[in-house]
Chain A
Amino acid sequence: MQFSLSSSPHNRVRRDTASVMRAVCYACIPGIMAQVWFFGWGVMIQLMLAIATALITEAGIMKLRRRNAKRILSDYSAVLTALLLAVSIPPLAPWWLIVIGTFFSIAIVKQLYGGLGFNMFNPAMGGYVMLLISFPLAMSMWLPVQSMALYPYNLTDALSVIFTGFSVSGYDITQLRLGIDGVTQATPLDAVRSSLLLGETYSEALQAPIFTSESGLSHGWAWVALAYLVGGLFLLWRKFISWHMPISMLAGVILTSGFLNMIMPDASGGVLFHLFSGAVLFGAFFIVTDPVSGSTTPKGRIIFGALIGFWTVIIRTFGGYPDAVAFAVLLMNIAVPLIDYYTQPRTYGARS
């Protein structure tokens, strides 16, 4: 009897890139549904625009590079990038915003570095940061939760606002942003940030109507974050992503925000507020787990994730922008070669 001998690993999961990318897209579905439920149909239109732009851009560049466009397009990585970018921008942002952003993500951040597998930076976050620093006003036009909006909108309104700037009944984006009390409703992060800048304390900031209670959870936004958490746990359960990066990032956020909140309870947000506002839960499972631009060694992944969490809270608290996941991710993307260099695992049997 003959045993076949081969080197490790012996037990492999046979998955190709496309099936992993598709799974991550599917895992976004609960989050997207929650976003549509709370913030209206705009999200879906942005998604369609983003995916169309991403595919056209990728195909165009494949043609320029004389590669097989069909094979590259069918790995779904462009679709995933488009999806991650589309859910990160305000749902009723004008159409050119998502088109420019997706084009930049795919053409500059991903393909100019050599395409999937060679990009140093997370494409979706690269595009997002480009939009954020280029069009700060349009990127801050978030909507109130639709049940609390003065003028809720429907699908045709969404199309009309995105392409012409006005809804069917003639409301523009600033009117659509009004809450039921006639006051423009900010995102939870914006609300806390602006009231801290006005000199109020954190607990006073939590009196804003968008927050449900003193805990720091907010209407709508916390549910969206929770929905992404569900999708992320699915990915974790099916082993599409390893636990290292999401868990260490969340730990980084919890420890940093807990510590800051302990030493200056009036000037920085609490743990729950940081976890369930903005892009932390979404980022922990869908952004930092990007296998290309993240760290590759087990120890390195933990350092990578934890520092993203750390920087997210630090930039949110002391920086100039309300949310900081994208900045933290890009910052740590630069540090990946260094982290990988110092955390190379010891080969079994080799002396350190």
Chain B
Amino acid sequence: MIDVKELTWQGLWKNNPALVQLLGLCPLLAVTSSAINGLGLGLATLFVLMGSNITVSAVRHYVPNEIRIPIFVIVIAAFVTIIQLLMQAFTFELYLALGIFIPLIVTNCAIIGRAEAFAAKNELFPSAYDGFIMGAGFALVLVLLGGIREILGSGTLFSGAELLLGAWAVDLKITIFVPDNPFLLAILPPGAFIGMGLLIALKNILDPRLEAKFAPKPEKIVERARVTAES
């Protein structure tokens, strides 16, 4: 009954929380100054989204309809607190770099949106998978936008990976070029807006092409051959 393929397609592309639903733009635009910052916040959001989807789906029969939103928010806040404490314990420098945007995951509309639109109406496992794949779609856009801005702004990719992944990850840093004059616009907030707009535009270009490629081919129409001439 769980349609994995459909959910995956919805979460990663067709209904991507960042590119299509445009939810959670505040953290999306604020922290994506580098790919690793984006990855950190993307993973945090993914875990919160999965946790809240599972919990909301599990308690959905016991929650009175009138007060479901505050209850969802409390569930989400609990998971955000867990993530925040975990990040503070294990990735302290990344925790400092992301700052206020970790607690602000509570206000990320993508999470309450999925709780309301999907988890509150579906079984446990589809909800968990939906949370995972929606979170992955969100994280992918964060990493992509962060990567673009990092390359344009400082000429590196995955700098600071050791903050998230441990000391071995220092080697992940790729220096593409060393700019004499860094392109500050890419790192400043306007660069996030422009980059985001370009990403959405790119998706809109790709959409019709993908549709043309994957659309079910029309059944072959057989026309009855005419064997007798009337003239």
| Residues of chain A having any CB pair with chain B under 8 Å | 100, 108, 112, 130, 133-138
Could you tell me if A135 and B188 are in contact, using CB atoms closer than 8 angstroms? no
C-alpha spacing A258/B129, complex, angstroms = 66
C-alpha spacing A112/B181, complex, angstroms = 26
Contact of B183 among A108, A112, A134, A137 (CB under 8 A): A134
Contact of B184 among A108, A112, A133 (CB under 8 A): A133
Q: 4 closest pairs, A vs B, by CB?
A: A134-B185, A134-B184, A135-B181, A134-B183
Instruction: List the B side residues contacting A130 at CB < 8 Å.
Output: 185
Q: Mark B184-201, 1 if CB is under 8 A from A, else 0.
A: 111010100010010000
Known: A133-B184, A134-B188, A135-B184. 11 other contacts (CB 8 A): A100-B183, A108-B194, A112-B197, A133-B188, A133-B190, A134-B183, A134-B186, A135-B181, A135-B183, A136-B184, A138-B181
CB B37 to nearest CB in A, in angstroms, measures 20
How many B residues, CB 8 Å from partner?
Answer: 9
C-alpha spacing A138/B183, complex, angstroms = 11
Name the prevailing secondary structure of the A interface residues: helix
| Residues of chain B having any CB pair with chain A under 8 Å | 181, 183-186, 188, 190, 194, 197
The tally of CB-CB contacts under 8 A between chains A and B is: 19
Residue in chain B with minimal CB distance to A138: B181
C-alpha spacing A134/B189, complex, angstroms = 12
Instruction: List the A side residues contacting B184 at CB < 8 Å.
Output: 133-136
Contact of A137 among B181, B188, B194 (CB under 8 A): B181
Residue in chain A with minimal CB distance to B181: A135
Could you tell me if A133 and B185 are in contact, using CB atoms closer than 8 angstroms? yes
CB A63 to nearest CB in B, in angstroms, measures 15
C-alpha spacing A130/B190, complex, angstroms = 9
C-alpha spacing A23/B185, complex, angstroms = 34
Instruction: List the B side residues contacting A137 at CB < 8 Å.
Output: 181
CB B231 to nearest CB in A, in angstroms, measures 45
Instruction: List the B side residues contacting A134 at CB < 8 Å.
Output: 183-186, 188
C-alpha spacing A108/B188, complex, angstroms = 17
C-alpha spacing A100/B183, complex, angstroms = 10
C-alpha spacing A137/B181, complex, angstroms = 8
19 A-B contact pairs sorted by A residue (CB < 8 Å): A100-B183, A108-B194, A112-B197, A130-B185, A133-B184, A133-B185, A133-B188, A133-B190, A134-B183, A134-B184, A134-B185, A134-B186, A134-B188, A135-B181, A135-B183, A135-B184, A136-B184, A137-B181, A138-B181
Instruction: List the B side residues contacting A112 at CB < 8 Å.
Output: 197
C-alpha spacing A112/B208, complex, angstroms = 20
Which of B183, B185, B186, B188 is most buried by chain A, counting CB atoms within 10 A of its CB? B185
Instruction: List the B side residues contacting A138 at CB < 8 Å.
Output: 181
C-alpha spacing A112/B202, complex, angstroms = 13
Instruction: List the A side residues contacting B185 at CB < 8 Å.
Output: 130, 133-134
Instruction: List the A side residues contacting B181 at CB < 8 Å.
Output: 135, 137-138
CB B203 to nearest CB in A, in angstroms, measures 15
C-alpha spacing A14/B204, complex, angstroms = 41
